[in-house]
């Protein structure tokens, strides 16, 4: 093993990787790749009034991918010795069932890719006691905000992930990705039962995050959300205008069209956006970007899990669909470059097309006027995840802090529920976008059983018509 | 690949680490080894074939009423000892809790379950690939309106687990499981709909490829022409695929851990009638039909059959050894975990006692309602603490006891509490699914439909 070199973290020696790739190509493959990962993580949980546990994890291994024709063979191993890698390369090659044979020596060209994101204070250098102290402060702040706060869970987590990618095109590159996450979940109890409130922050930074983030303030906001909902009325049902607050709406775009713009789903015609590049797919005020380079954001990286530099990709420009998101394999088949969206949960998984940080560009409306201009509808201040069927375009997203809008004013808070819409229709139904942009909470996007960290952001916006899934008439 | 360890070797490793315990220290070591094969077909070719092994070790240390934990994704001796050192270090930061500790042997013998089939472990990879290709072919040819496949795959796993503790627990288990799943695209007049079909088994011979392909095609084609229904309150029939997801959420609220931490909406309700009188809800990991069956739990204790709701009355919460000590009772064998986490307390294989009528009979008894065949956003619109329940849905309208037009892009909403009380009928079609619950057709008296 080599030492961590900040420019291009090198984990396995080039000659070992080169030999492994040569083995993988020995049965006549068109493409082979070694993905090496070494991930250390710490998670601390303060729950039920005490430090419940501290957990440390270490996971390292390599995934071997071999492509023959339209077939991908894949194997992985936790054994990073030359023989362990050779066995995995043989298994992947056998799975890809290459028949040709012939020797092709793979020569690697050490690639100086983009530098890893800057980290001032590596989490591993911070004593565990300092991490635990943050939890206690957040717990006290949440409980101190009101006697009705009956339970608090606070989690701190950090991870340090080093990756190395080498492939048969001669690429050899690496990255070092550091993530820090902090979340507070509260339960408040009242006459009408219990309600929950959550707040979280997550960045591709180290412990310096807490120079900017006040964990007590974060905790009070989580508690406030649970307390607010003790007074909540049942959510309405039926179609109505929906205004989404700054930072809150990213999930809507992630589901309404983000997944539908992933080239793997497009290629299988499993997306309502297939074949629509160059067409108007959204209101002209809509410009949607997926940007893996946003400094410090949760979905940020220097290179993706196929070794391609992260990019800023404009997906929808003033309402016109400009491009899909691509990974290496899909791009290779189309004879174009990857857009740096090839990601995987870990070395045990095949990469596929994934989003990074997806955001809606600002508009020129005034956020207060958007609300004042809405007679009857719902204002969603915080969203809580969603889901989409990319083939039909139907998507849902949850609301975890929302209010009625009556005669242009926010009135009663409403209980949790889902909203449902159809992606292509919803994009056309956006009639106002403000200038108050904010990023939302850190998310984990699930696809085919793999979870990867993603970010999103929006200014305040209004959709003229969505279906709100409550119980009130 | 590397040589495959036998389950006995996993236990040897666990025992040898347990042997490193110092005086006054409790250790629990869980060792997991899993082999997986996944073959995906697309347009008559193998899209991908993954043949992989995963292994990992979790080490829990308890001393002076403090607990620490660490895990590593390898069986390498050095890495495991590093994990032990980390767990000890982590322990010193935990708040002392008089109830923490590893499980003690309780004298309950694990059930003798037939969950491991060498027929799967020895099945040739080529035959598994052939199943995926055949699944795609059959699904595409099931109906001329099926125009494509989003995925058609065969996947299986052979998993082996060993748990050893300083209190004398020595448990091993091994299980095989496989399934076929197809996700079909149906198209007509420029409109696309999707449908999912699957088949589960312990070995490839258990799989019914006809059922998986036919169901995917039927579910997709019967949604063609779907419209958005008007809002209102209606009777709803939950298909087994949907009811299993609902019952899984209900099961989650009956965790002793959730109850003790004030996060269960049923916390103060033991002995109360929380469901309709016909509802008996059971968690039984010893039922070999359950895909998630296991003879031992995450702490190495025997799993057992636990009646949670008996004739509508809330009878029991499920416990691991720690939540049981806190509650002054005994573990129900319900510790749930992977190697990378400490044991929680939770259900593993939930089902309701089925009724006598088929889904068709139940539909025939409904004048105006909707058969729900799929839901979405369970994680975003269902709050298991407050009980608020709201999900996206698709299905078939029921008119005059007959299935009528397909409907989509609407939500169904109620609360978990009300839905349990509003269960009017239970079908006879109990079906175990690849999740911690079995599905069965359920008729819910009234739900709010939100559409146009």
Domain boundary among the residues A213, A230, A247 is at: A230
How high is the mean pLDDT of chain A? 93
In chain A, positions 332-391, which contact chain B (CB-CB < 8 Å)? 348, 350, 383-389, 391
- On whether residue A113 sits in a domain, the answer given is yes
Residue B383: predicted pLDDT: 92
Q: Indicate whether A261 and A169 sit together in one domain.
A: no
Contacts of B56 in chain A (CB under 8 A): 59
Residue from the list A87, A95, A151 with its beta carbon closest to the beta carbon of B49 = A95
Residue from the list B52, B83, B410 with its beta carbon closest to the beta carbon of A76 = B52
Contacts of B73 in chain A (CB under 8 A): 57-61, 78
- For residues B377 and A473, the model is more confident at B377
Interface check A85 vs B, CB under 8 A: no
> Does residue B99 carry a pLDDT above 90?
yes
Q: pLDDT for A295-311, tens place per residue?
A: 999 999 999 999 999 99
> Does residue A459 carry a pLDDT above 60?
yes
Q: Indicate whether A147 and A269 sit together in one domain.
A: no
d(CA B324, CA B332): 8
CB-CB contact of A64 with A135 (8 Å): no
Mutation target to probe the B interface, by most B beta carbons within 10 A, among A155, A417, A446 is A417
- On whether residue A398 sits in a domain, the answer given is yes
Q: Indicate whether A175 and A294 sit together in one domain.
A: no
Q: Indicate whether A173 and A300 sit together in one domain.
A: no
Average pLDDT over residues A276-296: 97
Range name among A48-62, A246-260, B286-300, B403-417 with the lowest pLDDT average: A246-260
Q: What ipTM describes this predicted complex?
A: 0.90
Q: Indicate whether A258 and A402 sit together in one domain.
A: yes
pLDDT band at A256 (very low <50, low <70, confident <90, very high): confident
- On whether residue A9 sits in a domain, the answer given is no
pLDDT band at A6 (very low <50, low <70, confident <90, very high): very low
Q: Indicate whether A191 and A266 sit together in one domain.
A: no
The closest alpha carbon to B12, from B160, B163, B115, belongs to: B163
Range name among A7-11, A16-20, A243-247, B65-69 with the lowest pLDDT average: A7-11
How high is the mean pLDDT of chain B? 95
> Does residue A9 carry a pLDDT above 60?
no
Q: Do A470 and B413 touch (CB under 8 A)?
A: yes
Residue from the list B67, B340, B380 with its beta carbon closest to the beta carbon of A385 = B380
Q: Do B448 and A53 touch (CB under 8 A)?
A: no
| DSSP letter for each residue of B339-360 | TTS--EE--SSEEEPP-SB-HH
Q: Indicate whether A299 and A166 sit together in one domain.
A: no
- On whether residue A4 sits in a domain, the answer given is no
pLDDT band at A11 (very low <50, low <70, confident <90, very high): confident
d(CA A194, CA B307): 26
Phi/psi for A289 (5° steps) reads -125, 140
pLDDT above 90 as % of chain B: 94
Q: pLDDT for B165-178, tens place per residue?
A: 999 999 999 999 99
Residue from the list B70, B125, B413 with its beta carbon closest to the beta carbon of A417 = B413
Which residues in A122-254 belong to E strands, given as ranges?
149-167, 171-190, 193-203, 237-244
Q: Indicate whether A314 and A462 sit together in one domain.
A: yes
Does the CA dihedral A246-A252-A257-A259 come out positive or negative? positive
Domain B7-220: state its class: alpha beta
Number of domains in chain A: 2
* Dihedral class, residue B44 (left if φ above 0, else alpha if ψ from -120 to 50, else beta): left
Interface check A194 vs B, CB under 8 A: yes
Q: Indicate whether A297 and A413 sit together in one domain.
A: yes
- On whether residue A357 sits in a domain, the answer given is yes
Q: pLDDT for B366-419, tens place per residue?
A: 999 999 999 999 988 899 999 999 999 999 999 999 999 999 999 999 999 999
Domain boundary among the residues A204, A230, A256 is at: A230
Q: pLDDT for B267-298, tens place per residue?
A: 999 999 999 999 999 999 999 999 999 999 99
Q: pLDDT for B210-236, tens place per residue?
A: 999 999 999 999 999 999 999 999 999
Mutation target to probe the A interface, by most A beta carbons within 10 A, among B388, B389, B444 is B388
d(CA B191, CA A404): 34
> Does residue B3 carry a pLDDT above 80?
no
CB-CB contact of A58 with A39 (8 Å): yes
Provide CB contacts within 8 A for A275, sequence distance 6+. Answer: none
pLDDT band at B2 (very low <50, low <70, confident <90, very high): very low
d(CA A21, CA A24): 5
Domain span including residue A252: 237-469
- On whether residue A446 sits in a domain, the answer given is yes
Q: pLDDT for A119-151, tens place per residue?
A: 999 999 999 999 999 999 999 999 999 999 999
pLDDT band at A4 (very low <50, low <70, confident <90, very high): very low
In chain B, positions 304-343, which contact chain A (CB-CB < 8 Å)? 340-342
Torsion of CA B122, B127, B132, B134, to 10 degrees: -150
The closest alpha carbon to A449, from B36, B4, B344, B250, belongs to: B36
Residue A102: predicted pLDDT: 57
CB-CB contact of A89 with A64 (8 Å): yes
Q: How far is CA A426 from each of CA A393, A466, B77, B299, B419, rounded to the nearest angstrom?
A: 10, 7, 55, 49, 31
Residue B135 CA, distance from chain mean position: 24
Q: Indicate whether A205 and A341 sit together in one domain.
A: no
Start-to-end CA distance of chain B, whole Å, equals 56
Q: Are strands A71-77 and A409-414 parallel, antiparallel or unpaired?
A: unpaired
Average pLDDT over residues A437-452: 93
Q: Indicate whether A322 and A263 sit together in one domain.
A: yes
Domain boundary among the residues A212, A230, A248 is at: A230
In chain B, positions 363-402, which contact chain A (CB-CB < 8 Å)? 376-377, 379-381, 383, 385-388, 390-392, 394
Q: How far is CA B89 from each of CA A46, B13, B67, B106, rounded to the nearest angstrom?
A: 17, 22, 10, 30
CB-CB contact of B279 with B426 (8 Å): yes
Residue B177 CA, distance from chain mean position: 13
pLDDT band at B5 (very low <50, low <70, confident <90, very high): low
- On whether residue A182 sits in a domain, the answer given is yes
Q: Indicate whether A244 and A136 sit together in one domain.
A: no
pLDDT above 70 as % of chain A: 96
Residue A99: predicted pLDDT: 58
Residue A104: predicted pLDDT: 65
Residue A385: predicted pLDDT: 87
- On whether residue A2 sits in a domain, the answer given is no
> Does residue A161 carry a pLDDT above 80?
yes
Work out the minimum CA distance from A364 to partner chain B, whole angstroms: 31
Q: Where are the domains of chain B?
A: 7-220, 226-452
């Amino acid at each position: 093993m080599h030492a961590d070199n900040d420019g291009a973290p090198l984990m396995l020696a080039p000659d070992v990787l080169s030999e492994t790739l040569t083995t993988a190509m020995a049965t006549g493959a068109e493409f082979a790749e070694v993905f090496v990962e070494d991930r250390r993580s710490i998670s601390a949980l303060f729950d039920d009034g005490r430090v419940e546990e501290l957990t440390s994890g270490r996971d390292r291994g390599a995934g071997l991918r071999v492509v023959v024709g339209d077939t991908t063979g894949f194997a992985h191993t936790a054994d990073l010795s030359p023989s362990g890698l050779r066995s995995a390369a043989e298994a992947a090659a056998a799975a890809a069932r290459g028949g040709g044979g012939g020797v092709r020596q793979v020569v690697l060209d050490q690639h100086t890719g983009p530098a890893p994101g800057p980290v001032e204070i590596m989490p591993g250098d911070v004593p565990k006691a300092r991490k635990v102290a943050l939890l206690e402060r957040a717990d006290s702040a949440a409980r101190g905000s009101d006697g009705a706060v009956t339970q608090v869970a606070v989690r701190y987590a950090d991870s340090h992930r080093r990756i190395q990618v080498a492939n048969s095109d001669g690429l050899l590159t690496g990255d070092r990705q550091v993530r820090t996450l902090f979340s507070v979940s509260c339960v408040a109890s009242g006459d009408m039962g219990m309600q929950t409130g959550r707040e979280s922050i997550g960045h591709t930074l180290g412990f310096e995050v807490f120079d900017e983030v006040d964990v007590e303030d974060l905790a009070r906001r989580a508690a406030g959300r649970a307390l607010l909902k003790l007074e909540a009325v049942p959510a309405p049902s039926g179609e109505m205008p929906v205004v989404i607050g700054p930072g809150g709406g990213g999930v809507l775009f992630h589901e309404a069209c983000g997944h539908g713009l992933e080239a793997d789903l497009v290629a299988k015609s499993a997306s309502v956006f297939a074949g629509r590049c160059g067409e108007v797919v959204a209101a002209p005020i809509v410009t949607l970007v997926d940007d893996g380079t946003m400094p410090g954001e949760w979905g940020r990286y220097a290179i993706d899990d196929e070794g391609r530099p992260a990019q800023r990709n404009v997906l929808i420009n003033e309402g016109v669909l400009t491009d899909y998101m691509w990974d290496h394999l899909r791009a290779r088949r189309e004879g174009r470059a990857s857009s740096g969206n090839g990601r995987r949960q870990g070395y045990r998984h095949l990469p596929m097309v994934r989003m990074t940080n997806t955001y809606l560009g600002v508009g020129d409306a005034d956020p207060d006027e958007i609300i004042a201009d809405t007679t009857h509808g719902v204002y969603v201040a915080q969203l809580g995840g969603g889901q989409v069927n990319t083939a039909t375009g139907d998507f849902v997203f949850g609301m975890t802090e929302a209010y009625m809008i009556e005669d242009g004013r926010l009135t009663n808070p409403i209980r949790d529920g889902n909203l449902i819409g159809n992606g292509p229709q919803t994009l056309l139904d956006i009639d106002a976008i403000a200038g108050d942009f904010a990023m939302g909470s850190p998310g984990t996007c699930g696809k085919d059983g793999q979870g990867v960290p993603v970010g999103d952001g929006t200014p305040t916006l209004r959709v003229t018509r969505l279906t709100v899934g409550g119980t009130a008439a | 690949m590397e040589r495959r360890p036998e389950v006995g070797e996993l236990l040897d490793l666990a025992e040898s680490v347990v042997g490193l315990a110092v005086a006054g220290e409790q250790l629990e070591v869980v060792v997991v080894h899993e082999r997986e094969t996944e073959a995906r077909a697309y347009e008559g070719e193998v899209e991908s074939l993954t043949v992989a092994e995963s292994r990992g070790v979790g080490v829990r240390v308890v001393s002076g009423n403090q607990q620490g934990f660490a895990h590593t994704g390898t069986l390498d001796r050095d890495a495991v000892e590093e994990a032990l050192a980390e767990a000890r270090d982590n322990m010193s930061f935990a708040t002392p809790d008089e109830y923490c500790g590893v499980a003690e042997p309780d004298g309950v013998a694990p059930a003798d379950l037939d969950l491991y089939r060498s027929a799967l472990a020895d099945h040739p990879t080529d035959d598994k690939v052939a199943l995926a290709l055949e699944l795609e072919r059959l699904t595409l040819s099931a109906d001329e309106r099926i125009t494509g496949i989003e995925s058609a795959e065969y996947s299986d796993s052979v998993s082996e687990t060993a748990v050893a503790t300083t209190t004398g627990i020595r448990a091993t288990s091994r299980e095989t499981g496989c399934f076929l799943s197809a996700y079909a695209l149906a198209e007509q007049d420029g409109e696309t709909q999707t449908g999912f079909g699957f088949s589960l088994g312990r070995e490839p011979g258990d799989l019914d490829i006809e059922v998986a392909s036919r169901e995917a095609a039927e579910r997709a084609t019967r949604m063609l022409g779907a419209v958005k229904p008007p809002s209102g309150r209606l009777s709803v029939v939950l298909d087994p695929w949907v009811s299993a997801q609902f019952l899984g959420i209900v099961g989650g609220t009956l965790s002793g851990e959730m109850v003790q931490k004030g996060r269960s909406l049923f916390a103060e309700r033991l002995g109360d009638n929380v469901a309709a009188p016909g509802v008996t809800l059971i968690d039984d990991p010893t039922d070999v039909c359950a895909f998630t069956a296991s003879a031992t739990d995450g702490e190495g204790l025997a799993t057992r059959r636990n009646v949670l709701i008996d004739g509508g009355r809330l009878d029991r919460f499920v416990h691991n050894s720690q939540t049981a000590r806190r509650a002054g009772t005994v573990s129900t064998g319900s510790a749930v975990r992977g190697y990378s986490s400490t044991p929680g307390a939770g259900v593993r294989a939930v089902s309701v006692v089925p009724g006598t009528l088929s889904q068709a009979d139940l539909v025939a008894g409904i004048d105006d309602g909707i058969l729900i065949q799929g839901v979405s956003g369970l994680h975003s619109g269902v709050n298991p603490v407050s009980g608020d329940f709201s999900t996206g849905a698709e299905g078939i309208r029921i008119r005059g006891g007959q299935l009528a037009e397909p409907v989509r892009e609407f939500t169904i909403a109620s609360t978990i509490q009300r839905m349990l009380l509003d269960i009017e009928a239970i079908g006879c079609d109990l079906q175990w699914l690849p999740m911690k619950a079995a599905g069965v057709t359920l008729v819910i008296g009234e739900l709010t439909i939100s559409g146009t």
